[in-house]
Structure 1
């Protein structure tokens, strides 16, 4: 009787190997998967931008000091802007991209009678024909406070909507902190000193968003 001796190991079918690999992969995925409750998933999600909170956190603590620190005398600025608008912007202003420059300014002048949300102020030493007004609400328009602060950039926000909402929030905070307690009618004919910001479109018409009026 002849005995046959195996000459090699028996090879497993390819489908068995594939099935085993899939099983190992499933086990590995199960081990590495982190299961979260609905509450923990919500807590880990990025928080939505809160304009009111942004204004409250940044206006008084950061924006007002930044504008106060950078403020240039209004006659000095407008004289420079009349001579060379671009040079004045580069020296005194702030901007992002190629938009108009925004300036932090201060001045003393005689307040007039408020109308249509603006308080006219006569400031000595300005170029002839210059009209200066302070925004006194109720509507506060523009992005001057955001842009003149110097530390707020578009890249800090998710999109253009949030960037715009930040400017509106700062305006709202200014109105609450400064204008709501201001007796505007009593300022008519009085000398006032103010600090604020404006975006330069033309040196002849200056509409300032104030942060201080005294």
Structure 2
């Protein structure tokens, strides 16, 4: 009976010790809010804020400054894609080069988010289309700008989110007020970016679509 009482006493003592340890941890632990935690390290990347700060102030001027006529680019890419990329474009990693481009031509009927444009002087094998949404695909705006690199971001997710956010910002600034049906059959001047997978499929992500003068 004596041994049994000792064992019970030991059990109660262990429970008391555990309770005291838990209380001590609670009093010595500092809890931080999410804002305080983020303030102590690198701020979380905000793609919307990044695009609002970067698109109009930096991306648009860079593409306008470096834009080459689409006929010049098509000939160069068809002749030697690697040389064309080095001379006129910007390359992100091992993917195809992206180009700042400008063109003037006649807008066709928009289908599936693309508006075809017939450009005088362009080889008949080439098909030119302008992305008009609602979905804007690819990272041409990010990559053709020339100053945005992977090393500026923490990881691939942020890098991709930046491209998507720039596309979204462009939609608000350019495509929200663009009437593709009204433009059909009329001459337009388009400036933008493209990342052609082949020399003959030229899909433009625009930074401006205007009536040709």
TM-score, scaled relative to structure 2: 0.81
Larger displacement relative to structure 2 (87-96 or 132-141): 87-96
**Alpha-carbon distance in structure 2 between the residues aligned to 1:42 and 1:193:** 45
- Structure number with greater Rg is 1
Aligned to 1:88: 84
Aligned to 1:197: 193
Instruction: Note the residue ranges of structure 1 that are not aligned, 5 or more in a row.
Output: 1-35
One of 87, 95, 100 as aligned partner of 1:99: 95
Secondary structure in 2 matching 1:151: coil
Deviations 1:158-195 (A, max 9, x none): 10000000000000000011001111110000000010
Aligned to 1:33: none
Size of the aligned set, in residue pairs, is 180
Aligned to 2:9: none
Matches within 5 A, 1:1-214: 38=32, 41-214=37-210
Cα drift, residue 42 of structure 1: 4.5
TM-score, scaled relative to structure 1: 0.80
RMSD, aligned CA? 1.5
Cα drift, residue 96 of structure 1: 2.5
Instruction: Note the residue ranges of structure 2 that are not aligned, 5 or more in a row.
Output: 1-29
Cα drift, residue 92 of structure 1: 0.3
